[in-house]
Amino acid sequence: MSKILVILTGGTIGSRIKGEVIDVSSASPYRLLAAYREKYGEGQEFEVIQPLNLLSENMTPETILVILKTLEKTAFENYDGVIITHGSDTLSYTAAFVGLLFHHVPVPVVLVAGNHPQEEEGSNGLNNFAGAVELIRQGTLRGVFVLYQDDQGINQIYLATRLVEADPFLDQFRDFARVPFGRIERGSLILNPGSDRAMREEMRKSESLPVPDSFSKKILLIRPYPGMDYSVFDFKEENRPAAVLHLLYHSSTACLAEGNYSFLLFARRCRELGIDVYMASHKRLGGNRYVTGDMLLKEGIVPLLNISPESAYAKLMLLYNTEGICVPEKIGQTLYFENVEDAQK
C-alpha cells in the first residue's frame, strides 16, 4: 500500500463554524481525513503531522519557515507523495516558497485548500484533497503543485510558482500564464498543451536553494495605485528592508509624476539608503516601450521578467536570506518555471 505524508497547517480546509464565526480547531483538520476515508475507503495509508494550525491570513515569514523546515526534515523516499493542507488567502505565497525550494524532491508535493469549512454546503476541500491523492497515485509527476477545484467543478493543477491569489469576488485562483498545468478528470491526469514539453525538459529545472535559517532580511512589497505617496515610507535604520519589490502596471510602467508620487525619485532615495529595488513583472527588455518604463530601466532598477508577485517576493526573500548567494547572479535564473517565458522557449 502506498503512503502519503499529510502536513496539516490549518486554514479554512481545517476549520469549523461556531455560531457565525469560522476559525481553526485542533480536531477539524483530522475530520478531513475521516471524510476522505468515509467516501473513498481505507485503501490509502496516510501519515499525518500538524506543525501549524492557523488561518492563512495570519501567515508570517516565521510561520512559512515552519512549513519549510518541516519539509527540509522530511524523508521523501519513505512516501509516494506529500499533501500540505493550507488556507486559501495566502496559499499562492506559501506555494511559491515551497515550489522554489522543493521542486527537486523525488515525489510530488501538492498543496490544497478549501473555499468553505468542510461542513458547509459547497465546500470543495474534500474534492481538492481527493484530487491531490489521485495526482500522487498516478505516479508520473514530480515537482510542487497546487490542486484546487474551480467554479466549473474542474480539479485544476497549477505549478506552485504560477499560482496567483484568488480574486476577491469569485474566490477563483488563476495561473499567471493563464493556462493551468493540467487537471484530474475522472481519475485520470490530463496535461494541458505545453505541460508535456515542460515535463520532457524535466521538472527539476536547476539546483535547489537551501532553506534559510531565518527571514531576518525583509523585502518590502509595494503595489502601485494612482495617488501612491512615497513619502509615507520613512526608512529608519532599525526597520529598513534589504530590498523593495515594486509591482508594475500591466504595461511595465509606474508613476513618474513630480515629487512624492514618483517611483523614480523613491528608487533613488532607496539607493542612497543602501536598499536594493526590483520591479515586477516586466514583459521584455527589448522592443518598443513606454517612456516611463524606459526611464525606469535607464535608472538601473532591476526588472524581474514575467513572474507573479508571489514568486518574485518569495524568490527575493529566499535569496536575500541565504548565506553566500550573489543575488544579482541568481535573480534572473529560473528555478521552477516561475519565469513564464522560460517554459515557452
pLDDT for the residue 343: 42
pLDDT for the residue 319: 97
Sheet holding 219-222, edge to edge: 219-222, 243-247, 276-282, 302-305
pLDDT for the residue 345: 41
pTM: 0.93
pLDDT for the residue 1: 57
Compute the C-alpha angle 300/281/284, nearest 5°: 70
Q: Which residues have a Cβ under 8 Å from the Cβ of 261 and sit 6 or more positions away?
A: 227, 228, 229, 230, 255
Q: pLDDT tens digits, the chain, 345 residues: what are they?
A: 589 999 999 876 665 555 455 555 666 667 888 888 989 998 899 999 999 999 899 999 999 999 999 999 999 999 999 999 999 999 999 999 999 999 999 999 999 998 877 766 778 889 999 999 999 999 989 999 999 999 999 999 999 999 999 999 988 999 999 999 999 998 899 999 878 766 655 555 556 789 999 999 999 999 999 999 999 999 988 889 999 999 999 999 999 999 999 999 999 999 999 999 999 999 878 888 999 999 999 999 999 999 999 999 999 999 999 999 989 889 989 999 999 874 434
- Residue 290 identity: Y
Can you tell me the distance from the alpha carbon of 13 to that of 112, in angstroms, rounded to the nearest whole number?
8
pLDDT for the residue 283: 87
Helix locations, 41-186, DSSP H: 61-72, 91-102, 125-138
pLDDT for the residue 224: 95
pLDDT for the residue 189: 92
pLDDT for the residue 206: 59
- Find where cell 491523492 sits: 133
pLDDT for the residue 205: 53
Name the β-bridge partners of 305. Answer: 282
